[in-house]
Chains A and B, each alone.
Chain A
Amino acid sequence: ILNVEQSPQSLHVQEGDSTNFTCSFPSSNFYALHWYRWETAKSPEALFVMTLNGDEKKKGRISATLNTKEGYSYLYIKGSQPEDSATYLCASCLRGSQGNLIFGKGTKLSVKP
C-alpha cells in the first residue's frame, strides 16, 4: 500500500509568519501529487495538482514544489493570515492504480491574529 506522510501534524503560527509543510511519498511509479485545503465545516478544496519533477505552482501567497525523484513536495504559505487556518492534505497516485489517490493525514495549521 502506498504510504503518504505529512509533517508536521500540526502547526501554530502568528499572523504574518511564513511557513511550510512537507509531504513524502514513494517515488517509484509516481503519477500525480495533489494538495487540498480543508477548512472546518467546508469541503476540501483543491490547491494544486502536480505531475512533473521540478514543478512549482503558485496561487496567491501559497506555492508548492515537487521532487518526484526523491519523493517529496513542499507547500509554502507566505505571510500567513488567520483565514489560512485549515488542514492541508496531500495525496499521491501511482501509475496504473486506476487513478486512486492515497491521502496523508494532513497538517493542521492555526494562524493566530
Chain B
Amino acid sequence: DVKVTQSSRYLVKRTGEKVFLECVQDMDHENMFWYRQDPGLGLRLIYFSYDVKMKEKGDIPEGYSVSREKKERFSLILESASTNQTSMYLCASTWDSAREKLFFGSGTQLSVL
C-alpha cells in the first residue's frame, strides 16, 4: 500500500516561530502537494512539486515556502508563523497525471498561539 507520512499529527507553535511540516511518500510519486483545510472551506492548494527541486505556487502560497530536495520528501515551511495559519495541513502525492488518484497523509493540525 502507498504510504504518505506526515511527521506530526498535532503541533502547537508560537507566533513568529519558523515551522517545518514534513511529508514523506514511499511510492516514487512525481507529484506532491500541500493543502490546508479550514472549516467551511474546501481543501486549498498551497504549493505543489512535480519533480525534485521543482515547486509551483498554488492558490494560497503567501506566508509559506517549500522544499523538495529528494523525490520522496516534500517539506512545507512557515517562515514566521501567524495565528491565521492555524489550520489542518494535508500532504498528498500521486503519479504524474491528474487522472491518477491522490494519496493523502493523515494531516497535521497546527495551532499557532
Contact = CB atoms under 8 A, between A and B. Distances in A.
B59 interface: yes
Contacts, number: 60
Interface of A: 1, 4, 31-32, 34, 36, 42-46, 49, 51, 89, 91, 93, 97-106
Contacts of A100: 45, 48, 58, 98
B77 interface: no
A104 B37 CA distance: 11
A43 B101 contact: no
Contact of A103 (B31, B43, B48): B43
Q: Interface residues of B: mostly helix, strand, loop or mixed?
A: loop
Interface residues of B, number: 27
Given A43-B106, A44-B90, A100-B58, A89 B97 contact: no
B62 interface: no
B45 A44 contact: no
A91 B98 CA distance: 10
B99 interface: yes
Can you list the 3 inter-chain pairs with the closest CB atoms, starting with the nearest?
Answer: A46-B101, A99-B98, A103-B42
A97 B99 CA distance: 12
Given A34-B102, A44-B104, A46-B101, A98 B43 contact: no
